[in-house]
Copies of this chain bind each other. A is one copy, B any other.
């Protein structure tokens, strides 16, 4: 089930083309993923405190229409795949009913030294992995 995040476009997120700079969507996706983790009962701040880090290992984005200053956007975040060490999410950025941008990411669970480690039990229980 998708988790939704609201974002109002900030002036600093535009570029001289008058649209939201394409790099900012990765930050919107990250907000979506943060809200998804919180909804799954494992807020990311807590995970990091316990030594579970989730760096991004892959991102893919398709930009269909530009967003603009002060637009009210919705980011819809869905889990599309989970293993014991990785999570794949899909993101849709919408304005009104209109799809502007879609993307996917993979995050991999590592410890503070960057070595792979399995996701925490509480999260694995929720995901059945």
Interface, chain A (partner B; CB < 8 A): 10-12, 14-19, 21-24, 26-27, 30-31, 34, 43-45, 48, 53, 55-64, 66, 69-70, 114
Can you name the residue of chain B whose Cβ is closest to the Cβ of A108?
B63
Contact of A21 among B12, B53, B57, B58 (CB under 8 A): B12
- Please tell me if the beta carbons of A10 and B31 are within 8 angstroms of each other in the complex: yes
Residues on B with C-beta less than 8 A from A57 are 62-64
Question: A70 and B45 in contact (CB under 8 A), knowing A30-B11, A30-B12?
Answer: yes
- Kindly list chain B residues whose C-beta atoms are within 8 Å of the C-beta of A14: 15-16
21 A-B contact pairs sorted by A residue (CB < 8 Å): A10-B27, A11-B16, A11-B21, A11-B44, A12-B21, A12-B23, A15-B16, A16-B48, A16-B69, A17-B48, A17-B53, A19-B55, A22-B56, A26-B26, A34-B70, A45-B69, A55-B63, A55-B66, A56-B63, A58-B62, A59-B59
